[in-house]
Amino acid sequence: MLHCRPKILRYTEGVKKARPFPALIDVARRAGVGAGTVSRVINGGQYVSKRTMARVQEAIEELGYQPNVAARSLKGRRTKTIGLVVPSVADPFFSVAAGAIEAVARDHGSPVLLAQSENLPSREREQITSLIQRRIDGLILVPCDGGNLSLLQQAAFPLVCFDRPFPGQPFATVLGDNYGGARAATEHLIHRGYKRILCMAGDGKLFTSQQRVRGHRDAIRDAGLPYFAELEVQDYASASDALRRHLLGKDRIDAVFCIKNLITMNAYKILRELGVEVPSSVGLLGYDDFELADTLDPPITVVRQPVVGIATRAAQLLFDALEKGKHPKGTTTLKVDLVYRGSCGEMLASRRYT
Amino acid sequence: MLHCRPKILRYTEGVKKARPFPALIDVARRAGVGAGTVSRVINGGQYVSKRTMARVQEAIEELGYQPNVAARSLKGRRTKTIGLVVPSVADPFFSVAAGAIEAVARDHGSPVLLAQSENLPSREREQITSLIQRRIDGLILVPCDGGNLSLLQQAAFPLVCFDRPFPGQPFATVLGDNYGGARAATEHLIHRGYKRILCMAGDGKLFTSQQRVRGHRDAIRDAGLPYFAELEVQDYASASDALRRHLLGKDRIDAVFCIKNLITMNAYKILRELGVEVPSSVGLLGYDDFELADTLDPPITVVRQPVVGIATRAAQLLFDALEKGKHPKGTTTLKVDLVYRGSCGEMLASRRYT
DNA sequence: CGTATTCCTGGAATCGATACCAGAAGTGAG
DNA sequence: CTCACTTCTGGTATCGATTCCAGGAATACG
């Protein structure tokens, strides 16, 4: 049943255009075999005789052949590449996370396409679009906006979020226990006798901030302490001024709870600058551990998130989806540690907050 | 001269396999036009009537069409993607650099394929191979080994190195002035009256370490001070012990010059732990600025590299090569600043080292 | 009105790897 | 030696977008 097969000259032997890389067909010609055979050798070598295999491998070697992933993924619908969208890789939290994710991805043979959203919805959209056009197999996302839902649903690749959930949507998500961590932190401050605690929340629109503020608030309420709205600072711009004001004016605060890395460091600077005694006149507690937190004077008590754990888990969930087909749903919340140092009273051993 | 063109049914209209994304041909059919026309609309729309254009754009909208970059780059030999290989993104220096590079790349419409080498030659090779197979348009590399030269030469895409040069090969390179920075640093220490300076060099095999050690050594020699080999510590493992020994034994040192971020922080910790008075009994000077360096007690004098400047320059060189075809060669060395704080004598204004 | 020019358009070959199919070659049993 | 197999091989359609080419439509110009 041979139907008319017109002989089409596909790979013009005569005119060799200067190609940057040799293609599979070049290997085939050099080894004197067909294209299919070379492909078989590359992919495991089932149904190829030892002799042929050796000849092909020699040709691959000689030409320095490198398979073209673009062509491969065009046919096979797998790019073996995952996407990662974070607000900013310069942020220590996300840079450590990105490093961990790259490590997992590499172990699975997939490089990472890195994109930064800067917490801007429009930027996030651009970046996701760009990744979709590159047909990534899966995406790890720190979402900053719910507006890209339709984009992602249409794309239909596995998606795992970390650090923040996708607003209003049950994608697989890996979080630190923001509420619990903040609550434990504030309870610790209260237990230490601090009563008027300034909560420096950074960007109040962010999920993590909101959760931590909530934990803080609940701890205050449950301890029966009065709640003061003016003791929650929800933006970066006015944070330093607010802290100074509350340290110097009347109704002075006696503790500061900082909800993020850089805020803690900034608060520490200001406390030093004003010559405030820590922890005796004002207590300081930060969210996120940082290099030197244990060396400052006094060492800073912090809530420590398992950054690598969170990122690694997210990556593993993604590859489970890709390789074992088990689509992850639901939220994984990882425990955080309260690391007692000296900035809100005497030092104790670290304790895992459950 | 129409030669026999057999009618081949390429895009089987009948059986529609469930494709994750609509293809260009789907848009074409929906709009009732040919494939070429859709392609023209997507790419600028030269030679397309307004009516057709509108119809096609409508179809694109309705289907949520996203061009497939793999197919595009297969034909066009441009992936619009660049590669970035750094030792580790978790390292603050490289994470800031990666952020800056991503920002430049994004402005040029190219996402970044991120790979970590962990300073391992074999790992570096794997990562570069992987990037080559993805046919990146260009590569930004922090080389850790010269063994991959042939690989990169064959690949023949533009390559820019930063932080370190490619061993023995004149690829385009952007560096901080390691020699000059270290020399100025040590001169400053000497000028302040310190005479017996411990140089903590981290991994002595790294280019940056070697250059900085050289600058340090030359400064010592030119000042007429005696040179002691035992005052150069060339590995991480023994660094802490060495420092402790030299602080406590006989022939005590009177200053420490740390060649990298984390080493400086570590040295500071040890100095505090031993209760050593800084700067009165021992001076401390670090390479690379870091958060809190200005807040420690005393604030740490450091050599500050223009990290963002270095990374941005590297990225710009790459895109100049890609877009304007001007192949960059040669080394760009950026100036570094000596930031006078208090850890080796009284504070002065910062000075740019020329 | 005919011809030259420009503007638009559809269709096929192409990029490089894979998957499938048909058939050749080799093996073993009867 | 034949038949039924398994093993091995070459050839080509296919993925999706671009880039040609040929030719139709529309306009301009003599």
Q: pLDDT digits over A213-251, tens only?
A: 999 999 999 999 999 999 999 988 889 999 999 999 888
- Which residues does residue A304 pair with via DSSP β-bridges, in sequence order? A337
Average pLDDT on A272-290 reads 94
Q: How confident is the model at residue A146 (pLDDT cuts 50, 70, 90)?
A: confident
* Cβ A329 vs Cβ A118: under 8 Å: no
- Which residues does residue B301 pair with via DSSP β-bridges, in sequence order? B285
Residue nearest to nucleotide D18 (CA to C1'): B75
Chain A residues within 8 A of B95 when measuring between CB atoms: 89-90, 92, 95, 98
Q: Indicate whether B293 pLDDT > 50.
A: yes
Average pLDDT on B64-91 reads 94
From the CA of A228, how many Å to the nearest CA of chain B? 31
From the CA of A190, how many Å to the nearest CA of chain B? 28
Q: Indicate whether A282 pLDDT > 90.
A: yes
Average pLDDT on B80-93 reads 96
From the CA of B95, how many Å to the nearest CA of chain A? 5
pLDDT at A7: 33
Q: Indicate whether B248 pLDDT > 50.
A: yes
Q: Indicate whether B68 pLDDT > 60.
A: yes
| Nucleic strand C within 7 A of Cβ A10 | yes
Cβ–Cβ of A20/B129 closer than 8 Å?
A: no
Size of interface A-B (CB pairs under 8 A): 169
The SS3 call for residue B133 is helix
Comparing CB atoms, the residue among B99, B155, B291 nearest residue A88 is B99
Q: Indicate whether B14 pLDDT > 90.
A: no
- C-alpha neighbours within 13 Å on the C-beta side of residue B219: 25
- Digit-coded pLDDT (tens) for A87-126: 999 999 999 999 999 999 999 999 999 999 999 999 999 9
Best-predicted range by mean pLDDT (A140-154, A182-196, A236-250): A182-196
Separation in Å: D28 C1' and A71 CA: 47
Q: Indicate whether B18 pLDDT > 70.
A: no
b/e B243-253 (16+ beta carbons within 10 angstroms → b) = beebbeeeeeb
Residue A82, token pair as written in the block? 């995952």
pLDDT at A346: 65
How many Å apart are CA A200 and CA A203, to the nearest integer?
9
Residue nearest to nucleotide C25 (CA to C1'): A49
Among A67-76, B130-139, B161-170, B340-349, the range scoring the smallest mean pLDDT is B340-349
Backbone angles phi, psi at A274, to 5 degrees: -85, 0
Average pLDDT score, chain B: 90
How many Å apart are CA A292 and CA B44, to the nearest integer?
53
| Nucleic strand C within 7 A of Cβ B36 | yes
pLDDT at A249: 82
Among A65-69, A208-212, A267-271, B324-328, the range scoring the smallest mean pLDDT is B324-328
Separation in Å: D3 C1' and B15 CA: 39
pLDDT at A69: 95
Q: Strand C within 7 Å of which CB atoms in A 222-281? A: none
Q: How confident is the model at residue B255 (pLDDT cuts 50, 70, 90)?
A: very high
pLDDT at B172: 95
b/e B124-146 (16+ beta carbons within 10 angstroms → b) = beebbebbbbbbbbbbbbbbbbe
* Cβ A300 vs Cβ A284: under 8 Å: yes
pLDDT at A18: 60
How many Å apart are CA A315 and CA A82, to the nearest integer?
10
> Do you know the residue count of chain B?
354
pLDDT at B241: 93
Average pLDDT on A315-322 reads 96
